[in-house]
Structure 1
Amino acid sequence: MELPRAHGAPPLTGRLRAEPADFEVEEERGFEPSGQGEHAFLIIEKTGANTEWVARQLAAAAGVAPVAVGYAGLKDRHAVTRQAFTVQLSGRADPDWSALAIPGVQVLSAARHDRKLKRGAHRGNRFRIRLRDVRGERAAAETQLEAIRARGVPNYFGEQRFGTDRRNLALAEALFAGRRLPREQRGFALSAARSELFNAVLARRVSDDSWDRALDGEVWMLAGSNAIFGPEPWNEDLARRLAAFDIDPTGPLWGAGELRSAAAVRALELAAIEPLAPLARGLEREDLGQQRRALRLRPGDLAWSWEGEDRLVLDFRLPAGAFATVVLREVFDAPDPQG
C-alpha cells in the first residue's frame, strides 16, 4: 500500500542505517527497578542483535526457560539500542552479568525487581538517527522539519510491522483461511492485519487533509494515554485541546464489535477498509475487540544538526508503539535496509 505523505514530497535523499551506530534507540521507562524481588533487572546495550534473540541468550545464561525473560518492546536489530530486560531467577543467585559473553550485547547495569517486564510497560523511546550521503535543499528540509515539529506526522504503522516482503500479512491471510500457526506467528499475523487496516483509514484521512483535524463523529484519544472519548459535538474546548496536542483524532484497530465512530468518520472508515474486507472479517472471527489508535504523532524534543556537507543528525522521542521511520519518511527518501 502506497501511503501518502502529509507534508509533501520529501526534499532529501540519503542513506539510512549505513552502520548500526547511525540508528540509536534508548528506551524511556518512566520507572526504576524496585531493588528487591526475584527478577534480575538488566539494562542492555545491543548492537546488530534482535530483541527476542537476546532474550533467549539471557535465559540460557541464567539457566531458566525463555518465558522467564521479559522486555517492554521489540527494538530495531540494525541499530544500537539500550533497553531493559528482566530475568526471573526464582531463588537463584545472580550470574556474573559483567562476564556475559553474548556477541553484540553488553550489560550496562543490573539490579533486582519485583515483577516481570511486560510488553508496552515503557513510556517511549529516544532516537538519534544519522542520515548519510544527503542530497537535496537544506532550506527546504529545515522548513519541512519545522512543519513536522509544529504539526506532527501521520501515525502510520511502519513497514517493520509487516515483516520482510510483508510476509506477516501473508501469514494473516493463511491464518484466516484456516491454517494453524504457532502462537508467536499468530501474534505477528494479527498485528499486521490490524495495522494494514489502520493504515488504510489513515491514508484516506491524509489524502483529504483531515488526519489532524476534526470530522463529524470523531473519537478522541487523550495524549499520553489510551483513554478515548466521544463522539460528541464539536466545540471551542475540543478545538483548544486539539490545537494544544492534548487530544488526537483516532482510527480503528479492527476487531469484533461495533465501530465507536459515527457520521462522516464512520462512513470514511468503512469505505477505507472495504477493499480489505477479508482481513477485517478474519479479525472479527478472532478473539479481538475494536480498539482505537491516535491518527497524529508529534515527535517530542525534535532537533537536528548537520555534520559536514552530507550528513544530517536527528534527535527526537516517541511514545511506545510509534515508529521512527514514519517521521523520517516525511523529510527523507531513503531506503531502509531493515524495512
Structure 2
Amino acid sequence: MSSGVFKFLDTRCFLCYSAESRWDTLALLSITRQKQEKLCSIYLKMKEDSDETNVPECFISDHEGFLGSIKNFIKDFVVTEIDINGQYVNTAAETQTSACASSHKHSETTADSLENSHQSASQETGDSADCGADATIPSPCSFDLSVILGQAVSEELEQFVLTLKDENTSKQELSLGHFSDKHHRANVHRAVRHRFPFLMTVTIQPEIRVREDPDYRELSQLVSEDEAEDFFRFIDAKVRGSSYTFGPDDNKEHRTAVHHFLSRRFGKLVETKSFVDQAKTAITVRLREQGRPKKRNAEERKEEEVYTAFVLCKENLETLEAISYMAAALGVLPSDFTYAGIKDKRAITYQSMVVKKVSPQRLREKSSEFESRGMRVSQILPVSEPLRLGRLQGNHFDLVVRDLRPHGFSDTHSSSKNSHSQLTTLVKEAVENVKARGFVNYYGPQRFGTVQSVQSDRVGLALLKEDVVGAVRLFFTPEEGDDPQSQAKRHFLQTDNAKESLALMPSSKARERLMLRALNRYGTGPDGCAQAWLSLPHSTRVFYPHAYCSRVWNEAVAHRLTSLGHRVRRGDLVWRQEESKNPECTGDLPQIHVVTEQEEQEEVFSLRQVLLPMPGNTVKYPENSTGTWFKERLSRDGLNNCRFRVGSLKLNLPGCYRPLLATPHNLRYQLSPAGGGRGEEMEGSSQGDGQLNGASEGKQDPLTLTLNFDLDSSCYATICLREIMKCDP
C-alpha cells in the first residue's frame, strides 16, 4: 500500500506509518485485515485535514510585509487589560512591567526555554489574553497541600495514607502540626478532605490531627474505592440540590445494604432512591432540601459577603493556572475568583480580578508567596460584587518584533548599505496600511490549539454530530513523544482501560482525569462517553463546538473577501449602530441589517461595518453567495440539518456576529537596531528619512520593531501582526 503501512499492537488498535515518517495510533473497537487499507487511507486523510492552516492566508492590504520573530523574551509581549471605562487596569504599566519582569530575570530567558503557550481547550486553555474575553474555561477546584502544609508535612501525609492502606488499620493517627491562625486551620481541614476524602481531621487547638474516617472504611466494603471517595467529596461539598449516583447494581440485597448504611450514617443529610434507567438499576443520593443547615457565626456570614478586587501581574503563567495556585494558598475555590478575560501565558499580563471570601488584608499577607510563583498583586481594595466575563473594552499591547528582514531574505542583504533604509520603508508602509485599513479579524490559532495532533475544532465537530465516542477518542489523541500525559492517552486508546490510564495520567491534567474517572465508572460505550463529557464543566464542553464554529468563520471570511472583494455587496450583513464598538455575540437580530442593491450602488456602508455570523440556531446568514457558502460548508461536514443543540450534553449554540475587520487603536511604533540606539519613533502618519541612530557603517545590526496599540475585546494581537508582516509571526 502506497499511503502507509500497518503495525499491529493488539486486536483493538494499530499504528499507521504516515508520510510524515512517524507512527500514529489509530484505536478501534475491532479491526479486520480486509479493512486495513481503507482505514489507513481514511486516517491519513484525517491527519491531512487536521494539519490544514487554522488561519487562511487572505489579507485586506497589499503591502509586501517583512519577516521577524516575537516572544523571544517574555518582556517582548506585554498585555494590559482595558476596563469597561476605557482605563488601563494598571496606570503605571511601565514601572510595574519592569518590577514584574525583574523578579525572574526574564531578559535572560528565551522563548525556546519556555513551554508552548497554548494548547487546545481539551488540554489547559481556551482563548489567550491575546483575544480578550471570547471564552472561559474554568479549572476544577484544587488544593495544593505542599503550599498549605509545607512540603515536608505534605510528604509525611502521603506516606501516612500509604501506610493506612498497606496495614489495613484505622487506629493510626498523624499530627499535621500546630496552627494558631483559624483561617489557616480551616484551609488545612478543607484541603485534606478534598485530597483524601477517606480521612477525617480533628482539631485539638491549636493542633490538627488526621486519621482514617471509619465511615469511609465501611462504605468502601460495599462499593468501589473510587465511588466511596467521590461520595465523600459530594457529602463534603454540601451543594444544595445536588445528587450523586453510584454505578449500576443489579443485586437487590446489595442495594439494600447500601441504602441502610447511608440512612444510618447520613440520614439527616441525604435521602436515597433506586432508579431504573435503560434496564439498569442504580442508587441515587440527594441532599435533603430541608437538611440541617450549616451553622455559621456572624463573622463567618460577614466573610462570605466579602469581595476584594485587585490587579494581577503574571509572568509565564496561564490565567487559570495562576488562579489555581492563589486559591490553594488562600484556602478558597478557583470558582471564587472572577475576571473579565483570559490572558496569554508567554507574556507579562495585567488584568483585573475579584476574589470572594478573602479580605484585602489576607490578600496582602499572601503577596510574597505569589511573587515566588511569578505573580504580583496590586491595587487591592474591597468591592461589592464580582467581575463578569467580558466586562472590558479590550487590551493594550506592548510588543517587540526582533530580527527584522525582508521576505526572500538572504545573507547578502545583511551587508548592503541600503538594507536598513529599504527595510524601514517596508515596515512603515505595512504599519501605516494596517493603521488605516485595519486587519482581517480572524480567530487566532490559539482558538484551535497549536499542540494537539487532533485539534479542538475536530472534537467540536464530533460533538455537534453527537458522536460522543469519536469525540472522546479525538480528545485522547496523544502527542508525539513519551511524556506521561501522552503515555496515558496512548494506553487508553490501545487498551480501552480507563482505570489503568487514570493511574498513568499526571495529577495536573484535571480534565483528562475527570473524563477517565467517568469512563471507568460508566464504561467506554456511548452512554459512558456521554457521562464523561458531562463530567466536565459546561464552559469546557461548549468550547469545542465553539472552536469548530470559529474555524468555519475564518474560512467564511476568506471566501467572502476572495469571491466578493473588498466592497460592501448586496446581501451582506452590517451593524447599523455606530455607537456600539463591538457587536459580537449580541444576538440582537433587529440591529442586523441586510444590504440592499441600492445601498451597494450608493456605497452607504463601509467594509468595517460588515459582519459574518458564527454558526448557531438563532443567527441570520448573509443573503448572497456567502450565505450559500455557509450552507455548503456545513453540509460538507454533515451538519446540513444540525440544530446546534446537543441535548444529551446540555449544549446549545445560539450563534453570534463578528466584525469582518478589526482596527488597532492608538498605534505607535519604533524601529531601532538590535545592538542599541534609540532609533526612530513613529506615530500615525509621521514621516522619517529611514536613518536610524546607532546604525554602523557597512554590515548593520538587525532591526527591532516596537509596537504599542489597543485592540477591542476578542481581537488577536498575533493576527494584527500577521497582517502587518504578511506571515505568521
In 2, the alpha carbon distance for the partners of 1:92 and 1:311 equals 42
Q: Does 1:252 align with 2:613?
A: yes
Bigger Rg, which one: 2
Q: Which amino acid aligns with 2:463?
A: L
Indicate if the aligned counterparts of 1:39 and 1:87 stay in contact, CA closer than 8 A. Answer: yes
In 2, the alpha carbon distance for the partners of 1:141 and 1:280 equals 47
- Deviation, structure 1 residue 9: 7.0
Change (3 A) 1:126 1:67: same
Which has the larger strand fraction?
A: 1
In 2, the alpha carbon distance for the partners of 1:124 and 1:94 equals 30
Change (3 A) 1:220 1:29: same
- Deviation, structure 1 residue 92: 9.0
In 1, the alpha carbon distance for the partners of 2:369 and 2:641 equals 45
Where does 1:3-14 land on structure 2 (aligned, <5 Å)?
Answer: 3-6=56-59, 7-8=61-62, 11-14=65-68
In 2, the alpha carbon distance for the partners of 1:209 and 1:16 equals 33
Which of 316, 322, 328 is equivalent to 1:48?
A: 316
* Residues 227-279 of structure 1, C-alpha deviations (whole Å, 9 max, x = no match): 64211435399945537x5xx11111111246343234422433454444449
Question: Aligned with 1:326: secondary structure?
Answer: helix
- Deviation, structure 1 residue 288: 1.3
Q: Does 1:25 align with 2:68?
A: no
In 1, the alpha carbon distance for the partners of 2:330 and 2:602 equals 52
Q: Specify the alignment match of 1:318 in structure 2.
A: 711
Q: Specify the alignment match of 2:561 in structure 1.
A: 206
- Deviation, structure 1 residue 194: 1.5
Indicate if the aligned counterparts of 2:664 and 2:709 stay in contact, CA closer than 8 A. Answer: yes
Which of 139, 149, 172 is equivalent to 2:425?
A: 139
Indicate the larger mover: 126-135 or 56-65.
56-65
* Residues 264-322 of structure 1, C-alpha deviations (whole Å, 9 max, x = no match): 44224334544444499373544111321111111111221112142111111101111
Q: Which amino acid aligns with 1:319?
A: D
- Deviation, structure 1 residue 165: 3.5
Q: Does 1:225 align with 2:515?
A: no
Change (3 A) 1:169 1:10: farther
Q: Specify the alignment match of 2:630 in structure 1.
A: 269
Which of 333, 355, 359 is equivalent to 1:87?
A: 355
Q: Does 1:215 align with 2:569?
A: yes
- Deviation, structure 1 residue 12: 1.2
In 2, the alpha carbon distance for the partners of 1:333 and 1:204 equals 18
- Deviation, structure 1 residue 59: 1.7
Which of 660, 663, 666 is equivalent to 1:301?
A: 666
- Deviation, structure 1 residue 68: 0.7
Q: Which amino acid aligns with 2:440?
A: P
In 1, the alpha carbon distance for the partners of 2:624 and 2:561 equals 18
Change (3 A) 1:126 1:217: same
Where does 1:43-192 land on structure 2 (aligned, <5 Å)?
Answer: 43-89=311-357, 94-95=362-363, 96-101=365-370, 102-136=372-406, 137-165=423-451, 167-176=455-464, 177-179=467-469, 180=530, 181=533, 182-183=536-537, 184-192=539-547
Indicate if the aligned counterparts of 1:43 and 1:108 stay in contact, CA closer than 8 A. Answer: yes
In 1, the alpha carbon distance for the partners of 2:641 and 2:63 equals 31
Indicate if the aligned counterparts of 2:619 and 2:656 stay in contact, CA closer than 8 A. Answer: no
* Residues 91-146 of structure 1, C-alpha deviations (whole Å, 9 max, x = no match): 89633253343511011221122222122111100001101111123312321221
Indicate if the aligned counterparts of 1:45 and 1:82 stay in contact, CA closer than 8 A. Answer: yes
TM-score normalised according to structure 2 size: 0.42
Indicate if the aligned counterparts of 1:58 and 1:69 stay in contact, CA closer than 8 A. Answer: no
Indicate if the aligned counterparts of 2:570 and 2:600 stay in contact, CA closer than 8 A. Answer: no
Change (3 A) 1:97 1:24: same
Change (3 A) 1:335 1:240: closer
Question: Aligned with 1:193: secondary structure?
Answer: helix
Change (3 A) 1:73 1:330: same
- Deviation, structure 1 residue 16: 1.2
Indicate if the aligned counterparts of 1:153 and 1:296 stay in contact, CA closer than 8 A. Answer: yes
- Deviation, structure 1 residue 56: 1.4
Which of 633, 649, 653 is equivalent to 1:288?
A: 653
Indicate if the aligned counterparts of 2:80 and 2:395 stay in contact, CA closer than 8 A. Answer: yes
Which has the larger helix fraction?
A: 2
Indicate if the aligned counterparts of 1:250 and 1:294 stay in contact, CA closer than 8 A. Answer: yes
Q: Which amino acid aligns with 1:98?
A: S
Q: Which amino acid aligns with 2:434?
A: I
Q: Specify the alignment match of 2:518 in structure 1.
A: none
- Deviation, structure 1 residue 10: 5.2
In 2, the alpha carbon distance for the partners of 1:23 and 1:90 equals 31
Q: Which amino acid aligns with 1:250?
A: L
The share of aligned pairs that are identical, in percent, is 22
Q: Which has the higher contact order (CA 8 A, sep 6+)?
A: 1
In 1, the alpha carbon distance for the partners of 2:663 and 2:728 equals 23
In 1, the alpha carbon distance for the partners of 2:360 and 2:399 equals 40
Q: Which amino acid aligns with 2:606?
A: L
Where in structure 1 are there 5+ consecutive unaligned residues? none
Q: Which amino acid aligns with 2:541?
A: R
Indicate if the aligned counterparts of 1:156 and 1:326 stay in contact, CA closer than 8 A. Answer: yes
Indicate if the aligned counterparts of 1:254 and 1:291 stay in contact, CA closer than 8 A. Answer: yes
TM-score normalised according to structure 1 size: 0.86
- Deviation, structure 1 residue 188: 2.4
Question: Aligned with 1:163: secondary structure?
Answer: coil
* Residues 13-62 of structure 1, C-alpha deviations (whole Å, 9 max, x = no match): 111100111011000013489xxx72111101111010011111222232
